[in-house]
Amino acid sequence: MAVAETEGVTASAGRNAPRPDGYALFWGLPLALWQGMFFLAPLAFLVVMTFWSVKNFRLEPDFDTVNWVKMWSKGYVVDTYLRTLGYAVLAAVVCSVLAFPAAYALAFKVSPAIRRLGVFLLITPFFTSYVVRVYSWQAVISDNGILNTVFAFLGFGPVEMLNTLFGTVIGYMTLCLPLVILLQLFSLANVDRSLIEAAHNLGCGRIRTIFLVIIPSAKVGLILAATFTFILCFGDFVSPVSLGGSKPPTLSILIVDTVKQGNHWPRAAVVAVTMVVTLIVVAFTALYFAYGHGRARR
């Protein structure tokens, strides 16, 4: 009797098991093909290339781990990796901290009309090429630029800003800050206002309400905004070259230098694969803390 009941439950569960939705599969197929053709296939080729060799300045298919050993046995490669990682983390923190007051003001302190104007102004920088915006900063922060001219008028300076870490971070902010403000704004705008009112009724001041109610409620958007900043800055080439002076180099600069030295594409591919793996790990870690961490605790 028990066996029959068990078989019945099993059969019922089999009938009630979710089946693939043909409609969803049909419309998801183009995205899958796109990802396969333009991400997975190039990534697979890049991984294979790391095991090739260069002989007489020509690529030859091979299967040898010498490129991985050569690159990661060099101290400057490890230093460059850690430096790039640190730069990206710094940019994510700086952009997130500077963006939050602006996003908070647009979400809670201004009228809808002003908010729409603010969103439009934040989108406007993307109408201009990022390269053009970065090069325009050279006229602002160079030794004879606008800022140092103002500093000289005030009786001090010049202050070295171009070809420094400060210049690189300025470039990163040019790339990411408007995007971070927008992502934080969309997240803060969806915070339940009743939670804020309840916190005020229970005696929470404005600062405590921000840290105990608003930030936890907007956690997903804040984490994703910081993650986007990290991803964009970790692989950026323009700002470290144009505003940072490329010395010390980042991984993107190291890839270019490696290719120029003997046309060594396989060793450059080693650096590129390392960057992709790092970004995948960071992205999934961020998704875990944004979505999965709270669900795991419940």
- CATH match of 74-293 with 1.10.3720.10: yes
Asked whether the beta carbons of 180 and 186 are under 8 A apart, the reply is no
- Could you tell me the two tokens for 69? 């050993």
Residues 90, 37: Cα–Cα separation, whole Å: 33
Number of CB atoms found within 10 A of residue 224's CB:
20
For 202-243, the pLDDT digits (tens) are 888 889 999 999 999 999 999 999 999 999 999 999 999 999
Q: Is pLDDT of 14 > 60?
A: no
**115-173 residue pLDDT tens:** 999 999 999 999 989 999 999 999 999 988 999 999 888 888 788 999 999 999 999 99
Is residue 47 helix, strand or coil?
A: helix
Residue type, 215: I
Phi, psi dihedrals of residue 235, rounded to the nearest 5°: -105, 5
Parse the chain into domains and list their residue ranges: 74-293
